[in-house]
């Protein structure tokens, strides 16, 4: 299994430690684990030029320097972990900027086929409030990318650093993550999108059958999704 953890800050605080705990519980010696840190691995803000949507993602000003590598790692991962501490009730600016770059991958445009067989986890911690809204920021993008299973885990740890988190809270986090690992590990080779994801796919499919953006319509046609092919079924065939 390929595991990719994208951290919304360079600081290895409580949120990072929770993500590492999850990886330590689920990764085996055979698994490949890659950690990225924002903004180091994606320091540029989305310019809002729309070139990735209206033309091609390779037209993004940040494609060659950052996005090509990042997208390749995302597509290769079986398990994608996004972590972000709460910054003023939402994800960090670096995480938001990274997610902004993937507007073209929303299902209404050109979702990656691999996402429909991918599991993802959103992790957030806070000294106070804002955990729910921060998790939602990340979860929305993953859902609209077409991720088959999206899990969230967050906690108000009442501390600005991991060392200040109480032993009781750390024990609770450990128990919660053990339960989460059981869900992720259940039939990892049989991951398929749920009803909501499939329903969204078919809604977008109906839009593209009627005609929207020529770039997006052609992509859906080339992928065979306007016909009988489906991204989750395509991946099954490739694996056989």
Q: Are 43 and 118 in contact (CB under 8 A)?
A: no
pLDDT band at 187 (very low <50, low <70, confident <90, very high): confident
Instruction: Give me the DSSP letters along 199-223.
Output: HHHHHHHHHHHH---HHHHHHHHHT
- Flag whether pLDDT at 121 surpasses 90: yes
Q: What percent of the chain has pLDDT over 70?
A: 97
Q: What is the mean pLDDT of residues 15-34?
A: 96
Please write the tens of the pLDDT for every residue from 206-235. Answer: 999 999 999 999 999 999 999 999 999 855
Q: Are 7 and 34 in contact (CB under 8 A)?
A: no
Torsional sign, CA 136, 121, 52, 66: positive
Please tell me the predicted confidence (pLDDT) of residue 190.
81
Q: Is residue 96 part of a domain?
A: yes
Q: Is residue 198 part of a domain?
A: no
Please write the tens of the pLDDT for every residue from 76-113. Answer: 999 999 999 999 999 999 999 999 999 999 999 999 99
CA 61 to chain centre: 22
Q: Is residue 215 part of a domain?
A: no
**Does an H or E element contain 72, and which?**
helix 68-76
Q: Is residue 9 part of a domain?
A: yes
The tally of domains found in the chain comes to 1
Please tell me the predicted confidence (pLDDT) of residue 60.
97
Give pTM, 2 decimals. Answer: 0.94
What's the burial of 188, exposed, middle or buried (CB within 10 Å: 0-12/13-18/19+)?
middle
Q: Is residue 66 part of a domain?
A: yes
Q: Is residue 212 part of a domain?
A: no
Q: What is the mean pLDDT of residues 61-71?
A: 98
Q: Is residue 63 part of a domain?
A: yes
Supply the CATH number for residue 95's domain.
3.40.50.360
- Flag whether pLDDT at 149 surpasses 90: yes
Q: Is residue 131 part of a domain?
A: yes
- Flag whether pLDDT at 237 surpasses 60: no
Residue 41: give the domain boundaries. Answer: 2-193
């Amino acid at each position: 299994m390929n595991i990719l953890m994208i951290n919304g800050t360079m600081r290895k605080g409580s949120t990072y430690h929770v993500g590492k705990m999850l990886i330590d519980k689920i990764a085996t010696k055979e698994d490949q684990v890659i950690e990225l840190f924002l903004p180091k691995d994606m320091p540029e803000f989305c310019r809002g030029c729309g070139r990735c949507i209206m033309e091609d993602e390779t037209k993004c000003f940040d494609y060659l320097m950052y996005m090509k590598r990042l997208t390749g790692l995302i597509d290769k991962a079986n398990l994608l972990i996004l972590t972000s501490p709460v910054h003023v009730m939402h994800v960090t600016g670096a995480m938001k900027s990274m997610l902004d770059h993937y507007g073209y991958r929303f299902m209404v445009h050109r979702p990656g086929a691999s996402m429909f067989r991918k599991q993802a986890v959103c992790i957030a911690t806070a000294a106070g409030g804002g955990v729910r809204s921060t998790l939602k920021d990340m979860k929305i993008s993953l859902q609209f990318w077409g991720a088959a299973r999206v899990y969230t885990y967050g906690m108000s740890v009442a501390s600005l650093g991991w060392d200040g988190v109480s032993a009781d809270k750390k024990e609770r986090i450990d128990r919660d993550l053990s339960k989460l690992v059981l869900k992720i590990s259940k039939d990892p080779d049989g991951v398929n999108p749920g009803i909501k994801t499939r329903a969204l796919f078919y809604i977008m499919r109906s839009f593209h059958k009627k005609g929207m953006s020529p770039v997006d319509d052609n992509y859906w046609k080339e992928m065979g999704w306007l016909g009988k092919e489906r991204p989750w079924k395509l991946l099954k065939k490739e694996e056989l």
